[in-house]
């Protein structure tokens, strides 16, 4: 869910998606209201080129690489665990 900005009577303090380091940040046109964790994870796994910071089931901070197996994901109605590959920080 996104919120369009521009109403001078309503101000939210925007912050960039975690992992964005661009020093030329501009005023956003939209704010993420719901789904920020998913969008952050997608951005980090697909765009950063470094491991994604996440947490294990005990809450311990860990770093993982995520890869999409394109051959497996484009086959319609095929659901397998090997569509998304996960590796620890050390490749």
Backbone φ and ψ of 8, nearest 5°: -65, -15
pLDDT at 60: 94
Q: Quote helix, strand, coil % in the chain, to nearest 5.
A: 20, 25, 55
Q: Is the pLDDT of residue 14 over 60?
A: yes
Instruction: Please say whether the beta carbons of 60 and 71 come within 8 A.
Output: no
Average pLDDT over residues 23-28: 78
Instruction: Tell me the two tokens of residue 90.
Output: 């050390």
- Secondary element (H or E) of residue 37: helix 36-47
Nearest to 28 by CA among 48, 13, 46: 13
Q: What is the average per-residue pLDDT within 6-14? A: 82
pLDDT at 18: 83
CA distance 20 to 50: 12
pLDDT digits (tens, 9 = 90+) for 78-89: 565 566 777 787
- Taking only the tens place, the pLDDT of each residue in 39-78 is 888 888 888 888 888 889 999 999 988 887 777 777 666 5
Contact 48, 26 (CB under 8 A): no
């Amino acid at each position: 869910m996104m919120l369009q900005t521009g109403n001078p009577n309503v101000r939210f303090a925007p912050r960039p998606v975690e992992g964005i380091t661009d020093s030329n940040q501009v005023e956003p046109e939209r704010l993420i209201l719901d789904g920020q964790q998913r969008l952050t994870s997608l951005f980090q796994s697909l765009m950063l080129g470094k491991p994604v910071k996440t947490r294990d089931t005990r809450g311990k901070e860990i770093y993982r690489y995520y890869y999409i197996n394109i051959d497996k994901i484009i086959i319609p109605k095929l659901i397998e665990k090997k569509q998304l590959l996960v590796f620890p920080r050390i490749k």
